[in-house]
Amino acid sequence: MDSTISVKKNNFLKRYKWALVVSFIVGFIALAPHIIFPLQLREEYKGIYMMQTANETEYLARIKEITEGHWKLGSVPFYEYKNNPPLMPPNALDFLYAGTNFTTGISISNLVIVSKFFLPALFFLLIYFLIRQLTGNKEFLSNKINAISGGLMVVLGYDLIDYSSLISYINGVNSPGDFLLWTRPINPIFGGMLIFGFLLIFWKLYRNEIVDRKSKYLIFAAGLLFALAIMSYFFSWGIILSFLAVFGAASLLSKNWLLFKRICLITFLGILFSTPYLYNIYMATKNIIYKESAVRTGIFYGRQLMLNKFLILTLLIFVIVSVAVYLKNKNKGSTLFLKEKWWLVCLAMIICGFIAFNQQIVTGQTVWPYHFVQYTIPLSITAIFITLYNFSYYGRSFRKIWIAIVFIAITASLSFGVYTQTMAYKNNFESYREKQKYAEVFDWLNNNAKKDCVVLTEDKIFFNKAITIYTDCDVYLSDFNSFMVPNERLYNNYMVFLKLQGVNESSIEEYVKKNTQDVAVHFYGAEGLVYGSTSPSFLVIKDKFINDYKKFLSEDFMDKIKKYKIDYFIVESKNKNSDFSQLPEIYSSENFLIYSFK
């Protein structure tokens, strides 16, 4: 038994050695900055690593909230509203991080750092295996190289698609400020892995036209991955459901009743397994503040047609290449690719993107549709590499085109991946070196403060979020507002923030004029990001907000702050605030002062 397992293991390593080597390189490129940073800082490093991807602090705060027993994630930053229905319930990866932290004692930060190696490497392998499964001549070296180039293009070269940013990098006008997209700790990496894992299973099921035990296992596995996608990320399950819709329609048109039945079973199992999540969402919609809160998560209402340039370009390439191959080989009996399963899957991978972008035409609502590119780009790249390789055997000219694209993809992806990680590290080094000073505050709170204490600081971005990651405390202010939190709380919070920033009665109008988007984002989240100074919801309350702030300044500041639970005010020593001079100073250092409200 042991010898059989050993032989299979050796065969696997031998067969996929190049894929494993490249996946290691991918993981190392993703992880490298987080190894170099503490080594370069030496004794200055206090455990605050470079959380320099979009929403990374929010993701870590969610994980910490679960470890504290608030697993519903009803209100991550605030002491209040913990039992409200969550707008974004925890997913499997949230629980995996939290569970590993609980069982091993390894800090959440270190777990996330380690995951920056394994998750991108595993994602690369899923893309690699999907490309190989859908291409011919599997044992050819060219097949392996093609799959490697496609995987590298997705994981390391993803942002090469953004030509405007790329041009600015080449001209030296700009440089990357964030690490690679696929190094984010939860999503889109988890959703991407679910999508490509689902496609691998679907491909095996699609090829298996026999009703046997294996097909039943595949249906179960596909349904489970679909359920995990539903419970993870709107954009991942939106893509999977759109893909199933394409194949469901195709199976009906072709009267492939076996495939149609399997698609129905997968959909049913996905919904069945995700029932607890769907119930939570349903209960959230019944809350009286659901609609005003949901807007902050990125829900948009309307039936606008949305088109994506890269998706259109991919479809054009797919159609043009297919037509060219058809015309060149129509007299040679080599046009059967139009009915080949790989070709239909690639077409579905492209078409499902158009459906996902535009489902709101039917439903009347969508969630931050711009995030769909996180998955339509990888699917498009994958479809292109599958198509070009399979067609490269239809003529010498196609072969030359494929060779050129593969060479460019490998070279550009590796170069750009290293460049992005290097420049993001360089651009953020001094900032995160400075942030190590916050560790003394975290140590004090962990040693002296009671669990679930509430801290007020002048910062509502990094420091505040880091408090919820590195301590058991909640915060008074936060721009992390994707929860069922009443607008009046956000209203009060922002006025407290403005007061701490020194905005007075004579400067409030100018402040709002210059920072309309920031104010709108605080109240209305994604709507503020999209519309900025023209945010419809904020324009309605703009004048009222200015007048209310002037009234706020005329009233007792301490009474206003104490409207909600608060235990400590923490301020940098150089920014000592006279408004808190009447409070007892319980900690002071070269960097910070801590005042107690007790």
Shortest CA distance to 473 belongs to which of 68, 110, 50, 103? 68
The answer to pTM > 0.85 is yes
| Phi and psi at residue 474, to the nearest 5° | -100, 175
**pLDDT, tens digit only, all 598 positions of the chain:** 566 666 666 777 888 899 999 999 999 999 999 999 999 999 999 999 999 999 999 999 999 999 999 999 999 999 999 999 898 899 999 999 999 999 999 999 999 999 999 999 999 999 999 999 999 888 899 999 999 999 999 999 999 999 889 999 999 899 999 999 999 999 999 999 999 999 999 999 999 888 889 999 999 999 999 999 999 999 999 999 999 999 999 999 999 999 999 999 999 999 999 999 998 888 888 888 888 888 788 777 788 888 899 999 999 999 999 988 888 776 665 556 677 899 999 999 999 999 999 998 988 888 888 889 999 999 999 999 999 999 988 778 889 999 999 999 999 999 999 999 999 999 999 999 999 999 999 999 999 999 889 999 988 789 999 999 999 999 999 988 889 999 899 989 999 999 999 999 999 999 988 888 888 877 776 665 565 566 666 777 788 889 999 999 999 999 999 999 999 999 998 878 778 888 999 999 999 999 999 7
Residue with tokens 């599997």: 138
CB 452 within 8 A of CB 473: yes
Residue with tokens 């009671």: 450
CB 343 within 8 A of CB 388: no
Q: In the chain, what is the greatest distance between 2 CA atoms, to the nearest angstrom? A: 91
Nearest 5°: CA angle at 558, between 557 and 562? Answer: 120
Residue with tokens 């492209």: 350
The DSSP bridge partners found for residue 455 are: 475, 568
Residue with tokens 């690490």: 179
pLDDT of residue 468: 97
